[in-house]
Amino acid sequence: MTAVERCRTAALGGHVEQCADCGHRRIAYNSCRNRHCPQCQAAAARAWLEARRADLLPIGYFHVVFTLPAEIGAIAYTNKAAVYDLLFRTAADTLLTIAADPKHLGAKLGVTAVLHSWGSALCHHPHVHMIVTGGGLSADGTAWVASRPNFLVPVRVLSRLFRRRFLEGLAALHGQGRLAFFGDHARLAEPAAFTRWLAPLRAKDWVVYAKPPFAGPESVLAYLARYTHRVAIADSRLVALDDRGVTFRYKDYRRDGHARLRTMTLEAAEFIRRFLLHVLPKGFHRIRHYGLFASGGRRANLARVRELLAVPASEVAAKPTEGAATDDHRPPCPCCGGHMVIVERFEPGNEPRGPPSARPRSAAA
Question: Do residues 25 and 355 lie in contact, with contact meaning Cβ atoms separated by under 8 Å?
Answer: yes
Same domain, 114 and 259: no
Question: Do residues 32 and 6 lie in contact, with contact meaning Cβ atoms separated by under 8 Å?
Answer: yes
Same domain, 176 and 80: yes
Same domain, 121 and 238: no
How far apart, in Å, do the first and last CA atoms of the chain sit? Answer: 53
213 part of a folded domain: yes
Q: Smallest Cα–Cα separation from 64: which of 157, 146, 1?
A: 157
What does the alpha-carbon distance between residue 357 and residue 365 come to, in Å, rounded to a whole number? 15
207 part of a folded domain: yes
What does the alpha-carbon distance between residue 264 and residue 134 come to, in Å, rounded to a whole number? 39
Same domain, 207 and 241: no
Q: Smallest Cα–Cα separation from 6: which of 26, 27, 32?
A: 32
319 part of a folded domain: no
Question: How many Cα atoms occupy the beta-carbon half-sphere of 190 within 13 Å?
Answer: 6
- Tell me what pLDDT residue 316 has: 46
52 part of a folded domain: no
Same domain, 74 and 6: no
Same domain, 83 and 187: yes
295 part of a folded domain: yes
Residue 91 CB partners (closer than 8 Å, separation 6+): 66, 113, 128, 130, 162
183 part of a folded domain: yes
- Tell me what pLDDT residue 317 has: 47
Same domain, 111 and 158: yes
Residue 70 CB partners (closer than 8 Å, separation 6+): none
Angle between helices 155-175 and 191-198 in degrees, nearest 10: 170
CA distances (Å), 23 to each of 64, 168, 334, 339, 351, in order? 51, 65, 11, 10, 20
Same domain, 300 and 228: yes
Same domain, 210 and 289: yes
12 part of a folded domain: yes
- Tell me what pLDDT residue 52 has: 75
115 part of a folded domain: yes
Question: Structurally, how many domains does the chain consist of?
Answer: 3
Domain span holding position 31: 2-35+330-346
Spans of the chain below 50 pLDDT: 316-327, 358, 361-365
Same domain, 201 and 239: no
Same domain, 271 and 297: no
What does the alpha-carbon distance between residue 90 and residue 98 come to, in Å, rounded to a whole number? 12
Same domain, 149 and 253: no
Q: Smallest Cα–Cα separation from 313: which of 53, 47, 54?
A: 54
